[in-house]
Amino acid sequence: MRTLILLALVGFAAQLVDGSLGMAYGVTSTTLLLAIGTNPAAASATVHLAEIGTTLASGVSHWKFGNVDWKVVRRVGVPGAVGAFLGATFLSWLSTEIAGPFAALLLLALGLYLLTRFTFRGVSTKHLGRPLRRRFLAPLGLVAGFVDATGGGGWGPIGTPAILASGRLEPRKVVGSIDTSEFLVSVAASAGFLLGIGTAGIDGAWVLALLGGGLVAAPLAAWLVRHVPARALGSAVGGVIVLTNTRTLLRSDLIDASAAVQVWTLASIALVWAAAVAYSVRAYLRDTRAIAREDARAEEGATLPA
């Protein structure tokens, strides 16, 4: 029962982050399942089965709040489903000894990307309003879907920043469209896993616990997307993923580090992580104050007599 409650809380927190940031449900949930010893293929399958429900609820919530561009959903989601099915099939063929470190390395890379991306970079909007082309969205969806299935997460960490970086779609619609299209990815990945491994290692109660927590968080996250400081949240989530998967790798047969090395390495990462979050919060407050000053000057100029 304690495990189910923990999984429900993780599902809630992961969906709250995913729905407001456009990423990290799969990465966060899979990281936890791997940390408690779940087979990588079974962990990814469990998360993707839960995501069928959470992404559907999230998509409906984002649609009601006007956060979805259906052209983007179609153009990135269909190739994403193809990539996810191929990725799930690939991971199902790997042995547990290979799949464990492979998944941890992939998740670590995604965590590092999240941490650096949201700590040091902002969101460009200089091309806002220009259409996103199919030749950009289709390859993006294919790659993101494959990585998502093999790593248990990656659709958001790859898709959301790539579309945000284009500056052609406002951030809330990027998040809403990526979350909505993830439903197609989750269905395809689940089909691939069920074909490859059947139901071996998949606990239905765990799926329902993750799903239940995510369903509660979905509408709240869709509302928060207009208010949450994505920069600070992204740094915080990225640090958790880096710390957890580094710990997994240090304890794996691939490295098999001593206890002292593990402690010093994880402590160093924790310090860097804390500094990154502090920097992100300061940068967010600085940018907010700068925008407020610009708005004040614009209002002052508009009230001056002609």
Report the amino acid identity of residue 179: D
pLDDT at residue 82, as a whole number: 92
Task: List, in order, residues 6 or more apart from 24 with CB less than 8 Å away.
Answer: 14, 17, 18, 114, 153, 156, 157, 237, 241
Query: When comparing pLDDT for 208 and 92, which is higher?
Result: 208
Rounded to the nearest integer, the mean pLDDT of the chain is 76
> How many domains does the chain divide into?
1
233: confidence class by pLDDT, cuts 50, 70, 90: low
The arithmetic mean of pLDDT across residues 208-232, rounded, is 70
Query: When comparing pLDDT for 12 and 272, which is higher?
Result: 272
Report the amino acid identity of residue 134: R
20: confidence class by pLDDT, cuts 50, 70, 90: low
pLDDT at residue 4, as a whole number: 73
pLDDT at residue 152, as a whole number: 65
Domain that holds residue 239: 2-303
Angle 242-247-248 (CA atoms, 0-180°, nearest 5)?
Answer: 100
**pLDDT for residue 206 is more than 90:** no
**pLDDT for residue 79 is more than 70:** yes
Distance CA 257, CA 265 (A): 10
The arithmetic mean of pLDDT across residues 122-131, rounded, is 52
Query: When comparing pLDDT for 209 and 76, which is higher?
Result: 76
Among 53, 68, 153, 73, smallest CA distance to 109 is for 153
pLDDT at residue 96, as a whole number: 53
Query: When comparing pLDDT for 276 and 131, which is higher?
Result: 276
**pLDDT for residue 36 is more than 80:** no
pLDDT at residue 272, as a whole number: 92
The arithmetic mean of pLDDT across residues 153-165, rounded, is 72
Q: How many CB atoms lie within 10 A of CB 123?
A: 14
Percent of residues, the chain, with pLDDT higher than 70: 70
Q: What is the pLDDT of residues 246-300, one digit of tens each?
A: 877 887 777 777 888 888 998 999 999 899 888 888 888 888 888 777 767 766 6
Min mean pLDDT across 16-20, 30-34, 74-78, 269-273 is at 16-20
- Entry pTM: 0.63
Range among 57-61, 165-169, 251-255, 295-299 rated most confident? 57-61
127: confidence class by pLDDT, cuts 50, 70, 90: very low
Among 46, 56, 45, 51, smallest CA distance to 85 is for 45
